[in-house]
Chain A
Amino acid sequence: MQSTHLQHAIREGCPNMATFPCEKRSLLKPGAGILLLMILLLNGCAFDVIRVRQEPCKMEKDEAASRSFRLGKKTEITLDTGYTRTLKEGARWDFVGVIPQGDVFKTSDQVFTIEGSNIFEAYIVVSSGKLVGFYLPVENSFSPLSEPLPLEMNELNDVQSVDERGSR
């Protein structure tokens, strides 16, 4: 009997034969601890993974093509990052230049930014009457919108550049 008890204790790896069956010293097995640590690390990294997709580009200023429009209705945008933005109804958007993806318009009637883990001031890029993405003036890059959005654009005749209208 004593021999069986001893063999059992040795097989279980109990350090103190006298008190066998011994208490488990750790609540977690080493494998579980590593797994938990990995989950925690990955979770920590997740705070920094919502990136705004950007393509470097250079905006050409075309003074002759100056034009403006007023937005006919409020437009809700869901960015590819999952954040939402609203283009205000009645906001005036002024042409500021051209990039390969479309015409770039800027407004003084609202603050407009796009957001991922970081936030970027942005202008809108319009092609064939649709919002196709955003121009980031600080980064000199284009951030596409995966699903172009039709805009209700009411053209304005009183063409006046953003600079002439003055800053906010």
Chain B
Amino acid sequence: MKRFAWVASLLVVCFWVAGCASGPKFADISSSFQTLQPNQGRIYIYRTAVLGAAIQPEVSLNGEVIGKAVPEGFFYADRMPGNYEILTSTEVDRKLSLTLNSGQVRYVRLDISIGFFVGHVYPVLVEDEIGKKEIQECKYVTYEKPPAEPQKKEPGETIK
């Protein structure tokens, strides 16, 4: 029985660790990020919550997927000033709308709440001071877009 408990605990820890981000910490890597262009703003998106580690929905910015909600992970996007919508989808969609000005840096935290079948990940706009502090221990996660499906070739069409 003791052995079973030990193995179960080990498995839980393995799943826990596997679900978390593994890149370099913000504090170590942020200085190497590209300097923000004067005509752009930056949005940092991060997740501190480890609860519900298996739930890692994609995060989209104005319809474009830019990352995943990895526990203890962060990523960022530089964009032109304007209006933006950040969306996460689990069993429901959760949206945050925000404005972005030139030179402005905004911090968006991905929180988790109880869902019906799975937890809900939702984006929250936080104060700069809070964002700057909380993101320090988060690890940089990159997002690779899935390869685009090959276009169907029409009969008789030559490949250019």
Which residues of chain A have a CB within 8 Å of any CB of chain B?
40, 43-44, 47-48, 110-111, 113, 117-121, 136-139, 166-168
Q: Are A44 and B99 in contact (CB under 8 A)?
A: no
Bound CA span A168–B124, Å = 17
Contacts of B115 in A (CB 8 A): 47
Alpha-carbon distance between A121 and B96 when the two chains are bound, in angstroms: 8
CB distance from B60 to the nearest CB of A (A): 14
Give A88's nearest chain B residue, CB to CB.
B127
Task: Contact check, B83 vs A137: say whether CB atoms are below 8 A apart.
Answer: yes
With A and B bound together, what is the CA distance between A167 and B105 in angstroms?
Answer: 9
Q: How many A-B residue pairs have CB under 8 A?
A: 60
Q: How far is the CA of A91 from the CA of B41 in the complex (A)?
A: 23
Residues 94-118 of B at the A interface (beta carbon under 8 Å): 94-99, 101-106, 115-117
B39-53 Cβ-contact flags toward A at 8 Å (1 or 0): 001000000000000
A7–B106 alpha-carbon span in the complex (Å): 77
Whether the pair A117, B92 counts as a contact (CB closer than 8 A) is: yes
In contact, B127 and A138 (Cβ under 8 angstroms) = no
The answer to whether A48 and B92 touch across the interface, beta carbons within 8 angstroms, is yes
**A-binding residues in B (CB < 8 A):** 41, 83-85, 91-92, 94-99, 101-106, 115-117, 120, 122-128
Report the Cα distance A48→B122, complex, angstroms: 12
Task: Check A110 against B127 for contact (C-beta < 8 Å).
Answer: yes
CB-CB nearest in chain B for A118:
B95
Whether A167 touches B101, Cβ cut-off 8 Å, given contacts A47-B120, A111-B125, is: yes
Q: Please determine whether B116 and A138 come into contact, CB atoms closer than 8 angstroms.
A: no
User: Which residue of the partner chain, among B85, B91, B103, B124, contacts A167 with CB atoms under 8 Å?
Assistant: B103
Q: Which residues of A contact B96 (CB under 8 A)?
A: 113, 118-121
Q: Which 3 A-B pairs have the closest CB atoms?
A: A167-B101, A138-B97, A167-B104
Q: How far is the CA of A121 from the CA of B105 in the complex (A)?
A: 15
Q: A138-B83, A138-B84 are in contact. Are A119 and B116 (CB under 8 A)?
A: no
